Amino acid sequence: MIVIDLEECGVCEKCIPICPKELIEKKGYAMIIKDGCDDCGICLDICPLGAIYEEE
């Protein structure tokens, strides 16, 4: 499962357009991954702070 560490996220929004299923969105002062993520991993390398990672 891919998650966004809300404490590390700088809300730069670089991950929003990279998601092919458009499942990442800004919610207030945080980024969230909506239901339906198939863990493709495309968003993992785009985050400059490393706040997006795969959780086992």
- pLDDT, residue 44, reads 95
- Region 1-56: CATH code: 3.30.70.20
- pLDDT, residue 1, reads 94
- pLDDT, residue 56, reads 84
What is the reported pTM?
A: 0.88
- pLDDT, residue 51, reads 97
Task: Using 70 as the pLDDT threshold, list the residues of the chain that sit under it.
Answer: none
Report residue 6: phi and psi, to 5°.
-65, -25
First to last CA, the chain: 6
- pLDDT, residue 19, reads 97
- pLDDT, residue 22, reads 97
**Domain ranges (residues) in the chain:** 1-56
